[in-house]
Amino acid sequence: MKCRFSGEEIPEILTFGKMPLGNGFLKDQNPQDEYFFKMSVSVNNSIGLLQLNEQPDPNKMFHENYAFYSRSSALMMEHFKDLSNEIQSLLDKNFSSDNNQFVVEVGSNDGVMLEHLVKANVSCLGIEPSKNVAEISHQYGVTTVNKFMSVETADQVISEYQQANVIYSANVFCHIPDINNLAQACSNLLKDGGYLIFEDPYLADILEKVSYDQIYDEHVFLFSCYAVQNIFIKYGMQLVDCKPLNTHGGSMRYYLKKTGSIETSRQLDNQFKHEESLGILSLKSYKDFASKCEEARVGFKNKLTSLKDNQKSIVGYGATSKSTTILNYCEVGPELIDFIVDTTPTKQNMFTPGKHIPVLPYEHFLPHPDVAVLFAWNHQKEIIAKEGAFKGEWMTHLHHEYKG
């Protein structure tokens, strides 16, 4: 395929086969018209950018019944509260003389971060394409534009509001296939000297952990620091700092500055060295990753099959978008996992995309099963602390549990 950023031909490294939408939970266990696409990934290893070969229509994914709410996790609520404090500090440090400070969040979801800025009397705006979560943000006083981010949307915001001192986005930029249009939109929307701050799943962590479940329909791109530097410098924004995060099983927060004095951090310099040591710019690293994914796939299904052969009860914990990749890639259905429990009301009493495993309210975790498959493994510490009474076996799909 051709790289979405550079236009050059790049090699395919891994195919997952037929895949449904990650958040395409079903009311019917035997639907007549479920949507599937061929999911595979290619890499532009010259800049460390992994990308989906095919992406479904965004309107099929980020629709009015989109089922992900940032408020569903106490950990993420705390994460966004801390982030809002960081943004306020950045405004105070860099824009104290600007009487028209303005913050824009791209993919503002249910307003969980911006509500803290509203309470602090910081002028702000959310941009969110999913109607149902955008409407919830209004309950928290967050003004939200119900659109996808693009050059056209950025120009509309400038016309109706103003340019931004800070643009922030969490787990959204990796969703947007036209990365050049997105970068241009952010450059247009930022004031000179303004900051673009965004965080997404981090490619280096995915390669190290073999967390292939980070690859699903919404994640068009998986970025490295090298990729972010190469993409955004083209549009006048320099990567100046980065911050490793534990969210989503390993993420990176990138800090970019539009014009003005540019000084890069020691953390960023060290991160570039780390990426080099992993071979982030080497095609061999991605071929090795693909081999480990296959090893993990076989090991995960074999273990579940063995447990079932021994009459063990097996329940999934967390009906995540990532679990859609795991279940369909590993060909695991209700014959191996009895059901999955989840606290999100819009997913309860539904069926998982593709494999049609029942999703039940959290209360069905009692009586405890023999084995719990932790699909929400990125919240492992939080969940295991909560489930101290569970004396069965926790397991995940991750490669370290199955390597030879």
Eight-state DSSP code of residue 26: B
The answer to whether residue 66 scores a pLDDT higher than 70 is no
Q: What share of the chain is helix, strand, coil (3-state, %, to 5)?
A: 40, 25, 40
Average pLDDT in the chain: 93
What structural domains does the chain harbor? Answer: 49-283 (3.40.50.150)
Q: pLDDT tens for residues 100-139? A: 999 999 999 888 899 999 999 999 999 998 887 778 888 8
The mean pLDDT value for 348-368 works out to 97
The answer to whether residue 67 scores a pLDDT higher than 80 is no
- CB burial of 133-151 (b: ≥16 within 10 Å; e: otherwise) equals bbebbeebebebbeebbbb
Residue 198 in contact with residue 239, Cβ under 8 Å? no
Residue with tokens 């996790």: 73
Measure CA 84 to chain center: 19
The answer to whether residue 68 scores a pLDDT higher than 60 is no
- Give every CB contact of residue 344 below 8 A, 6+ residues apart in sequence: 67, 69, 72, 319
- State residue 259's pLDDT score: 81
Q: How far apart are CA 287 and CA 12, in angstroms?
A: 10
Q: Which of 58-72, 86-100, 103-117, 272-286 has the lowest mean pLDDT?
A: 58-72
Q: How far apart are CA 150 and CA 73, in angstroms?
A: 29
The answer to whether residue 396 scores a pLDDT higher than 80 is yes
> What does pTM read for this prediction?
0.92
